Structures are given as C-alpha cells and as structure tokens.
Amino acid sequence: MILQAYRLPQGGFIDRNKPLRFRFNGRDLQGYAGDSLASALIANGVHLVGRSFKYHRPRGIFSAGSEEPNALVQLEADARTEPNMRATQIELYEGLSATSQNCWPAVGMDIGAVNNTLSRLLPAGFYYKTFMWPPSWWMKYEHYIRKASGLGVSAHDPDPDFYEHRHAHCDVLVAGGGPAGLGAALAAARAGARVILADEGFQPGGSLLHETTAIDGMPATAWTRHILAELASLPEVSVLTRSTVFGYFDHNFLTIAETVSPHAPRAPRQRIWKVRAQRVVLATGATERPLVFADNDRPGIMLASAARTYVNRYGVRPGNRAVVFTNNDSAYLAALDLHRSGVSIAATVDPRPQANGEIATQVRAAGIRMLSGQVVVRARGTRHVNAAEIMRYENGRTAGAVERVDCDLLCISGGWSPAVHLFSQSKGRLRYDETLTSFVPAASAQAEQSAGAARGVYALADCISDGYAAGSQAATACGLSPAPPLAEPVVDRPSPGTILPLWRVDTDHTRRAKSFVDLQNDVTTADLALAAREGYVSVEHLKRYTTLGMGTDQGKTSNINGLAILAEINAAQIPAVGTTTFRPPYTPVTLGALAGAEVGPHFDPVRASAMHGWHQQAGARFINAGLWKRPQFYPHPGESLQQTINREVLAVRRRAGLVDVSTLGKIDIKGRDACVFLERVYTNRWRNLAVGKARYGLMLREDGMVFDDGTTTRIAEEHFLMTTTTANAVRVMSTLEYWLQVHWRDLDVRLTSVTEQWAAMALAGPASRKVLARVASADVGDDALPYLGYREMDVAGFPARVFRISFSGELAYEINVPADYGLAVWEALLEAGQSSGITPYGTEAMAVLRIEKGHIAGMELDGRTTPADLGLEKMIAADKDCIGKRSLALPALAAADRKQFVGLVTTDGRSAIPRGAQLVADSGHPLPNPILGHVTSTCHSPTLERPIALALLSRGRERYGEKLYAMSPLTGANMQVEVAHHVFYDPEGKRLRGC
Amino acid sequence: MMLIKCPHCGARAVTEFTYGGAAEIARPADPVGVSDAQWTDYVYMRDNPRGVHDEVWQHSAGCRRWIAVRRNTLTHDVIATADPGKLPHR
Amino acid sequence: MCFTIRKGNVSVAVENQRISALAELAVPAIPAVPGRGIVLWQRHPLAMLNLRGPGDRAFRDGVRQVCGCELPSSPNSSNVCEEGEILTLGPNEWLLVADPDTRWSENMKIACATLTDVSHARVVVHVEGEKAREMLAKGCPVDLHAQRFPGGTCIQTSIAKIGVIIHKLHNENDIAIYAARSYAGSLWHWLTASAAEYGYHVVAR
C-alpha cells in the first residue's frame, strides 16, 4: 500500500516528522500531526466517507470546517464513541479509529441505497403523507423509520470520562480566531482589556491557515503565529482553541463548548464555558455556498475554499484533475493554488459573460482554460465524480450542446454567506445585501459588533482592519483607553470582481436527476418545488415540511440557497422570504458537556444532619426529603420492611423512640413587632402565648389554602422560634420575608433561618421522660415542663432547647442542640434509654404514628385544602385578620360538598388500602363512576393491628360509618372501606399529656 | 441569561433570583370590607403586559432581599431595580 | 464567651467537643499528586453571630463601641479587626466571625440590634493557591478577578447549587467558602473534584 499517495511533497501546516497511525472503516492508514481526519483521509485517497440520510447516496468530504454536511463519522467505539462527528474538524491523533455512518453492511455496498432507486416514492413530507394512516399504526411505523434513518449511534455504556463547566467574565469576548478575530483580540488586548478569544479549530487562525498571501511582509501563517504569541504573552488574554461559541443569550451571556486537548492530564474531556462579556466581537467568518445542479452531491465535489484548505493548509491533493465551477472570483484562488500544487485544472466554468476581477486575470495568465458564460449542469460518476457536463448559460437559461469534461475533483463556489448565527441568536436584525447576495448584520440588539467576513467584509486586509477597529471600539466601550492605532495591514491581494447570483442550474437535460440543496437531509430542488406547490410558502413551514436546514449541520451550506430558490419559485424577493430562526447550538454539543459535573449522585447536592454518620452506621435506609437524606427505617437482619416499621412504631407506643427531626425548618423571629407579625401570618392567636410556651400554628396562602403548619415557641417576650415542615422550609422563609420586605416594611421584625444551627431530635414514648431525666440538667417533670412547655437546660452536658411537643401522640420531647453537639447528644440519649428499650425510628414509623393520630402532613397539604376541609376551622381566630382568611368566605371555599378530612378502615380488617385510591359509592357503577374523594395517606397500623387510611371525602364528616369503595386504577384494587373519624388513636390526647 | 442588578449585591445572573410576581399589588387594608369580586381581583387577577412590567424578585441565592425590578418582558431589558416600592415613577 | 442559648458561659470542655460536619472529610493528608496545586483547610471551630440592625450612624457607633470593630461601610465588603471579622450579608445584615473564645456574644447589648447565634450553622473551608480562582470558577458564577473582587470582598452566591458566602482574604490567593452545615459533604466533594485537575492537599491550620 502506498502511504499517503495524495500528500504533496511539501507545504502545509502539518508536522511531517510526526506520523500518526489511524484506522478508518477497518483500514489502517497514516497521517501527520496537524491533519484533520478529513485531510488525512484525502491524503490516503479516501473520498467515499458516508451515505446520505434518506437516499443512502455515496457522499464524500464536502468542506473543510464546521459547515460539513456529509463527512460525518462515528468516532471511536464502545463507551467513548461519539456519533455525527465532522471529519473536517477532528484533530488527528495516534490510534484514532472512526467508521462511516448510515450504511450497512459497508459504505461501499449499502443496502439502504435502494431508497435512491425508489426515490420517486419518497417525496418531501413523505413521512407525514404515508405513515399517518391508520393513526394507531404510527408507533409501529416509527420504530422502523427510526432504524432506517438517522445518522450515528450513541454510546450505550456509562461514560468513562468527566466534564465540567467554567464561568468566565471578560471585557471583550471574540468569537472566531480568523483574520478579523485575531485583529480584534489584539486591539482589545493592547488596550488592556480582559479578552477571551474562542476559535472552533484545533489551530487558531481560520482562513489565515490556508492563506498564501503575505501580510506585513511575512507569510500569513507566520503573521498568525506572531499575533498569537503576543496574545499568549498577555496575562488577561485567554485564547481557547477547539472551542465553539455555540450560544448567545440575554445580556451578553455566551456559551462555549471546548473539547479539551487530549494531551492535558487529569482534565475533563469537554468543558462548557459560561461567559458574561461586557462587549462581544463576532468574527465568525463566512460560509461558502454550494452551487446547485444535477448530482451535485457526488464524492469529489467540494467547496472551492475547502480544496484550497486541503492543498495549502494540509498539503494534500483532493484530486488530480479539477473543474472549478464558480459565480464569483474567490474560487479562482482555489484554481491558482491547485494549479501551483500540481493539480491539473481541466477548466474553470463561470456563468458570468466575462470574469472581470484581477484574480481571474491571473488564472488566464496561468494558461488555464476558462469557460465564461457557461455552467456545469450535471456531475457524472456515482461513487466518485468522473466528469462535469457543461452548457452555455444565457439570460438565466442553459443553451446549446453539452460538453463533457473529465475530472476527479469538482470545486464549486456559489458565493459567501456571513455566519450570522450568533448575531441572530443575540436578537440582532439582518439585512439582505443585493451586492453581496447574502444576509448581513444590520442592527445589534446587544453590546456586540460583527467584524470581518461575519458582516460581509471579505478582502483579507479589510478583514484584519475591521477586526482592529472592532477590538479597539469594544475596549473603548469598556471604559479603557485604546492603544495606539494599529498600522493598516499590508496585504498583497488583488480585489475581486462582482458576483452573479446563481441559485440553481435548471435545465431540461437533467430533469430526472437530483439537484441537492441540503446535502445532509437529502432535500432537492424538486422537493422545494413540490412543497411550494402544496402551499408551504413560509420558510419556517418549508423547513419543517422538507427538513431543509435541519440535522446536525442545521443547513449551514443550504439555508441561503434554499430560501433563494423558494423565492425564485414563488417569484418573491429574498428579503421577503426571510431566514429561519437561528437557534443555539451553532454546532452540536454533547449531553455530557451540558450536564457537566452535576451527574449521578452529584446531580443535586445532598443535605445531611449532624447525626447522618450514625444513621449510616446503624444501617438506616435513607429517603430523599427535598435535598435532605432522612433515615427511612433501621432494618434489623432478617426483618421485612413491615416488621421493621411495626417494631419501630410499637417501641414508641410502648417504650421510647428517638427520631432525627433536624430537617424541620427553624426560623428565629425577633423584634418589637414579632407577635403582631405572627398574628398576621398564622390563623390563630399569638398575643396570649406566654414566654416558655409553644403553640401549634396554621398558615394559609392568600387564596385560603393551607400552606404550612408547625409549632412556634415564645422564647422571650420579643423572640419566637417558628418551625416549619421539612418540605416547605425554604418557601415559608421566603414568603415571610416577602410580607415583611414588600408589604409590611413598617414592622420591626428580623427573621433568621436557624435550621442549620440546631440538630433536632424527638424523644417520644411513655418512657421518654424517664430517659430524658437521666441526662437533663433540669427538672423535666410535668410541672416543670408541662405539655407545650419549653425550657433551656443541659442535655448530656450540652446546652439544649427542650420543647414538650408531640407529633406521635405520645409523651414526647423535642431536643435541639447546636449542630456540632448533635451526634454526642443523640448517642447520649440512646445510651440513657438503653435500659428502657429505646429505639431509633425513621420517617416510615413517624408517618404511621401520625396517621394513627390523624395529623395532617404533606399529602393533605396539597394546595387544595382549606382549614375547614381539614377539620381545623377552630384554628382560625375570629377577631383578627390573617393571610388568606378573607378567601375562606368566598362561596367556592365555603361550599358544603367540599372534600373533608376523614379516616378509613377496611371492612375486612385485613386488606391494605392503596395510596391514591379513589372513593366511590358503588364499585359496579358504569364508567364514569362519580368520584367522592381520594385516599391521601395509608398504612398498616401495628397499634390497631389493621390497615387504616386518611382521605379527603366530599361531605366526609357527614359520612362516619358509611361504607364506600376504594378503587385504585393503578393496582386494580377494589375494596370496601368504612368512613371513620380521622383520629384513630387516643382521641382525647391523654397520652401526649402524659399525666 | 438575564443579568439583574441587585441594589445590594450588584449585577447577578437571573438564576440567583426567584420571581415573586407583579409589584405594587396593594393588599386591601380591610379585607372584610371588600366585596368578593374585589378580593378575587386582588388575589388572582394580574396584568400580563408585553413591554415594561414592574415586578418583585427575591435575591434568594444572595442577600435574600426582595427587590423591585422594572423589566421589559419583550426585550428582557432590565430598566431599573430598587428596594420594594422605591422604583421611580413611570 | 457566650455562644449558646444559656445565659452563663459554656465551658471550654464543651466547646472542645464540637464535631465538625467535615470531621471525617477534611482530613489532613499528604498530597497524592505533589505540586503547586490547591491547598484546602477547614476553619473550625468558629463563633458566628448573625447581626441585624438599621445600619445608620447610631447603630454603627453602637457596634463599634460594643464589639470594638467597625461595620464594613460598603456592600460586598468585610472588616477584619483584632476581635474577629465582620462580613456584610445585606443592607441590614452582617455576620460576625471569631474564634470560639471571643467576647462577642448573642447577649451583647447594641441599640436596635438583633443578634442570633449561628456558630454551628455553617462550615468554612479555605481554598488557597494560585489556581484557587480558576478552580472556583468551575462553579462560582461571580467574577472573582482581583479587579472586581479585591481582598476583603465578600459575596453570597451559589456553587453547584449550594448557597455560599465567598470571602476573599487580603491575600489574593486565599479564599474562604462558607456553606450551610448540612451541605458540607457535597461542598467537600465539589471542592476536591474541582481541585483534582491541579492537584490538592488538605492541611490543618
């Protein structure tokens, strides 16, 4: 095998001393450091790289950059595989392995290519037309359609790499490191600005890397190195390579996807930069447009600028005998460079009567055959182009005989389109420029300016100057004094002539062949014509109907041609047709990069109490409560879940239990008006609460629904401690702050969240007093610390707040200690309770205890229940207002048939009542069966030795003793239940009073 | 991503803030004295303007202060920020 | 000192029994990868008080007289004095930070002031090193560049969804991170994972 047969003997921005081995479709090949995968493939004569999306037509390398529609490969295999990677942008590395996509069994022999033969059966909108009937079959069709279409495949194994995000701030962000971008970065940096320059390539420089002209007396590549060296020497300048600015959001927030150099140790694979820039310079360059003619998708057809890039930057020959087809002068540079590199130029073909620029003159001087007033009507060859068919072009029509010119490389250029994607994302307004035949930025919407080719300034010297000016202006706008003006670059480059718009070559001669507008999505001129006939005149509709401009390239090479052809078909003006919306990302971004470091167990932070380590060692199972990890239960070896819960519940009912309640929200309320404030936010009275006493409080939303509940304790005359539920802790704090700061600014109240300051544990059960007394420094008897009493004391030698409150319905104490003492106190209480059979219990047992007692919790506080619904109407003080009270008088909230809080028992005394079951009067009623209510909380009560549940039931309190059915469409359960009072256990509350 | 200038902490990303609804919604001084319709209007009815809108936001990841924000809902321009009730008259 | 709810003094013996939320994580160790890298250390135990007040001249005078330390005069700033540090948290909210043997206490009488003991509510980790700012930028959305964030600046923001106070000490490369105690484990994970690229070691100070 001949190594790199298409490598030029010299030249290029590659390191010929560093050969790299790589593998493509199972073949071992060689390239050089500095190659892209595409250039290395071309060096080895590989042109057939993939198959197209719909027709499975052979496709080759079409461009040399991020606009590539065809040469998409599957990079690497297994867990690290990445689909749809543009070969034109992959930096070659030792051992790289890639395969073609969308072909089976192989790119050279692909069964799906039958779609090309059947193509008349696959018109635009084919999926919508064919597979919609019968509707129920769509799911079946979809399965096969997905298999048959699509591009690469994603990895199935967990990603072995990691990713990260990085926030960055700068004075000037420059997107694009070509001539304008380098100029802008340099001018801004010299003015002292903090500059970030991001370039998508693995070598910054953009078009300078394939430029053969001298700048300021040195080769363009040397000039580029010179500028980069100066930028690297400045501490406030960051030059990011392999970094695509892919999103431009509100208020100059831009996102950059960086592929981290494979050589960086311990670094992430990719990184997302989140940049907030004072000013932005968009130096994103321009994309060359293809020309549209029959079979214009054959391998060996490529953009003229790409051919230039391969020859000049990579030192490879994309063909031996070329035809250059262009409607503007830029492609003549390609003709000259190819010619110089030994590629024979069979002809240049130009629809213009006479190519009038100085560059064309140079081509003529080189003795190249120039066909003026002619067009390529068709490419010949299937797996590789082997000839161009050429006709005369007069008054917008083809005419005369067909001339066939043999070639293995067909370079095309339909003009240039500024890459206005980021500009459009920034909400800037575009304008159509007839002279340039392209959309250019018109009015900025943010602190941004475009420079160079991104705004239609194409001459190299002008690009650099435009960049200088933009960078200087951006620095000035940041309040910096501009550096001395940079000298105008001296560039030896003749000026180009004018472009002749040529959106498609339409000729009877080739009517049955396909002329591709969008190469990636296989959208042809015929598809556009069909869509127009069917009424898709809006460009946004056209896009969705034909898929023009969709896919991984988002139509970078097809959008302008597509809408110009639509304009031609509809005899409309291009500006009137307009563009589709440009949305982020500019090029595809991996999900791994977007997720960053917040994956797996680190998706969200975890909150853990001071006793968390103890719970872990005790074998607790944890449950998420918001971000908190709470012990759910502490299983003993051999126990079932139900046995564990029963054991923990009965320990509390019969002896003593200890539960970690650190997660409850705790808010310190201080100030002269603390009491007034509580009266406004709670439904009940607070004025008459004595110091050293706690009270249960109920809080409403302004719409009258119960918001939260908890106990609040008067610690001193002007000092209260409020507790909230775990779930609402943050919301309650925020709401209280809202009322104080927005509406009641005259109140003297200071709120401080002390949730994190205190470790909290509830000691519950008939033996709890005895246990606490063993470690408490103060009397905890009923006289000294009665029900709803509060005292400060030492517990196990640590300063503690002790509250005589109960959630379980038993005699109980809640003990708060500064969090760093939490573990010590927890352990001391367990030790003190050992002889009394103390048992740690989790949230499951806690839930059973509260269901037995009929206390409300999150399931009942669903935002739809009023105090009266929950049987708490007595909590509303008659002689004062509070948040939400007025709403309770609205007719809907006072309706007699509202759902009310009740208990349920199964009539068989055995069957568990499913959570979420619906309550109906007659389980045999035909559907729809009128629903009377639903089950909110359910459990097996070890205390009562039967299943019980809580429910919200229409007119529930009138139904005690009534038999209904609980039906669960999820479990299929259907059982008879009897309505009961919601307090199943100790309704008189003797036990919690503990006397 | 919007940048909101907290009067206390300076300009911060919108992700640090929590939206709190329209500003200057006066709570009836005597809730019992207003009709059901007036009360419902206060609780539920809000304008949804296309253009300039006065709002309250809490700088929940920062100083936790509620602030008034005058914002253009169409362009996302943040026109002014101040302590609640302190926005200049329009 | 007087950092508990009790009126009397907590004995030194009790204070010494404080167990940090990072007790098992921020363990000093020889760096796995030596080099310049990042140095992490936990400041514990600390006394912390939340101070509320109107921020007017009389109030400032009161604070100066009682605490022996001036309130910081501008937003996002701190003041370090012999007794401890005062960090600005908001227009009428400050955090007093001191060693546990401080005379600052919840019971100080300052006109119009409210003091709440929050000594146990936060963990404090210092991140030191040339790469400290770069490392924190992996999660911190606020610009920590010396131009915008000189020594003495303190702000509140979020890192990896964890609410934090970031306090830059007067040494440009020494940054203290305060986070709520319950988030300590997640904060530590984030710090060490983010520092891994540069190499880090954990020390006791």
Q: What is the pLDDT of residues A154-167, one digit of tens each?
A: 888 998 899 999 99
The answer on pLDDT for A119 being more than 90 is no
Per-residue pLDDT of chain B (90 residues; tens, 9 = 90+): 999 999 999 999 999 999 999 998 999 999 999 999 999 999 999 999 999 999 999 999 999 999 999 999 999 999 999 999 999 998
Q: How far apart are CA A633 and CA A623, in angstroms?
A: 9
Cβ contact C155–B16 (<8 Å): no
Closest CA to A455 of A476, A445, A470: A470
3-state secondary structure C160-185: CCEEEEEEECCCCCEEEEEEEHHHHH
Place of tokens 């694979």: A269
Class of domain C47-118: alpha beta
Tokens 């399965």 sit on residue: A143
Interface contact flag, A887 B85, Cβ < 8 Å: no
Tell me, what's the pLDDT at A590? 93
Q: Per the CB < 8 Å rule, is C91 touching B63?
A: yes
**Any idea which residue has 């790119």 for tokens?**
A107
Residues C150 and C168: beta-carbon distance below 8 Å: yes
* Model confidence at C8: pLDDT above 60: no
The token duo for A504 is 């498609």
- Inform me whether the pLDDT recorded for C182 exceeds 80: yes
CB contact under 8 A, A742 and B43: no
How high is the pLDDT of residue C4?
38
Angle at B58 between CA B52 and CA B59, to 5 degrees: 110
Is CATH 2.40.30.110 the right assignment for the domain spanning A896-992?
A: yes
Per-residue confidence (pLDDT) for residue A154, from 0 to 100: 86
Cα separations in angstroms, A8 against A301, A341, A623, A900: 20, 7, 66, 86
ipTM of the complex: 0.98
**Mean pLDDT of the region A945-966:** 97
User: Which among A249, A743, A890 is the nearest to B1, CB-wise?
Assistant: A249
Average pLDDT over residues A468-495: 88
Strands A58-59 and A516-518: unpaired
CA distance A885 to A872: 13
| Inter-chain residue contact B63 with C157, CB threshold 8 Å | no
> What tens digit of pLDDT does each residue of A555-581 get?
999 999 999 999 999 999 999 988 888
Kind of pairing between the strands at A321-326 and A409-413 = parallel
For residue A144, report the phi and psi dihedrals to the nearest 5 degrees.
-75, -35
Band (A758; pLDDT cuts 50, 70, 90): very high
CA distances from A215 to A10, A206, A227, A357, A983 (A): 21, 15, 12, 21, 89
Task: Calculate mean pLDDT across residues A380-384.
Answer: 94
Identify the band that residue C36 occupies on the pLDDT scale cut at 50, 70 and 90.
low
Most C CBs within 10 Å, among A624, A757, A793, to test the C interface: A757
- Among chain B residues, CA nearest to C165: B62
Residue A138 pLDDT: 57
pLDDT of C13 reads 73
Domain definitions of chain C by residue range: 21-45+121-205, 47-118
For A958-964, what is the mean pLDDT? 97
CATH architecture of B3-82: 2-Layer Sandwich (3.30)
Where does CATH 3.50.50.60 sit in chain A? 163-287+418-477, 290-414
Which of these CATH numbers, 3.50.50.60, 2.20.25.10, 3.30.230.70, 3.30.30.10, describes A163-287+418-477? Answer: 3.50.50.60
List all residues 6 or more positions away from A239 whose beta carbon is below 8 Å from its beta carbon: A177, A185, A197, A199, A204, A228, A231, A232
Query: Are A254 and A280 a contacting pair, CB within 8 Å?
Result: yes
In this predicted model, what pLDDT tens digit does every residue of A430-439 receive, in sequence order?
A: 999 999 999 9
- For A824, other C-beta atoms within 10 Å of its C-beta total 21
User: How, if at all, do strands C114-117 and C122-128 pair?
Assistant: unpaired
Q: Which CATH architecture has domain A503-598?
A: Orthogonal Bundle (1.10)
Tell me the three state secondary structure of residue A128.
helix
Per-residue pLDDT for A131 more than 70? no
Asked if residue A182 lies in contact with residue A201, where contact means CB atoms within 8 angstroms, the answer is no
Fold held by A1-158: Ubiquitin-like (UB roll) (3.10.20)
- Name the neighbours of A, counting chains with at least 3 Cβ pairs within 8 A: B, C
Most confident among A98-102, A249-253, C31-35 (mean pLDDT): A249-253
H or E stretch at A363: helix A358-365
Choose among A785, A897, A768: nearest CA to A839: A768
The residues, ordered by sequence, that sit 6+ positions from A803 with a Cβ below 8 Å of its Cβ are A694, A711, A713, A789, A790, A813, A814, A815, A816
Q: Kindly report, as residue ranges, where domains of CATH 3.30.1360.120 are found in chain A.
A: 608-663+759-785+806-855
Residues of A (146-165) whose Cβ lies below 8 Å from C: 164-165
Q: Residue A820 and residue A797: Cα distance in Å, rounded?
A: 13
Q: Which residue has the higher pLDDT, A913 or A122?
A: A913
B14 touches chain C (CB under 8 A): no
Q: What is the mean pLDDT of residues A576-594?
A: 92
What three-state secondary structure class fits A352?
Answer: coil
Report the alpha-carbon angle A249-A251-A252, nearest 5: 70
For domain A290-414, which CATH number applies: 3.50.50.60, 3.40.50.720, 3.20.20.70, 3.90.580.10? 3.50.50.60
pLDDT at C184: 98
Kindly report the pTM of this predicted structure: 0.94
Find which of C2, C114, C124, C190 to mutate to test the A interface (most A CBs within 10 Å of its CB).
C114
**Residue A927 DSSP code:** S
Q: Is A205 in contact with A177 (CB distance < 8 Å)?
A: yes
Q: Which of A199, A165, A166 is nearest to A180 (CA)?
A: A199
Q: Is the pLDDT of residue A628 over 60?
A: yes
What is the Cα–Cα distance from C52 to C86, expressed in whole angstroms? 12
Residue spans of the domains in chain B: they are: 3-82
Residue A878 has which token pair?
A: 């008659």
Give dist(CA A340, CA C166) in Å, integer: 61
Inter-helix orientation angle A330-340/A358-365, to 10°:
30
Protein fold of A608-663+759-785+806-855? Gyrase A; domain 2 (3.30.1360)
Alpha helices in A48-178 (DSSP H): 114-117, 126-130, 138-148
Please state which CATH number belongs to domain C21-45+121-205.
3.30.1360.120
Tens of pLDDT, residue by residue over A172-192, are: 999 999 999 999 999 999 999
Looking at residue A615, its pLDDT comes to: 98
Is residue A135 very low, low, confident or very high in pLDDT (cuts 50, 70, 90)?
low
In the predicted model, is pLDDT for residue A128 greater than 80?
Answer: no
Encoded amino acid at A542, one letter:
L
Please state, in angstroms and rounded to a whole number, the distance separating the CA atoms of residues A94 and A736: 62
- The residue to which tokens 């199943």 are assigned: A984
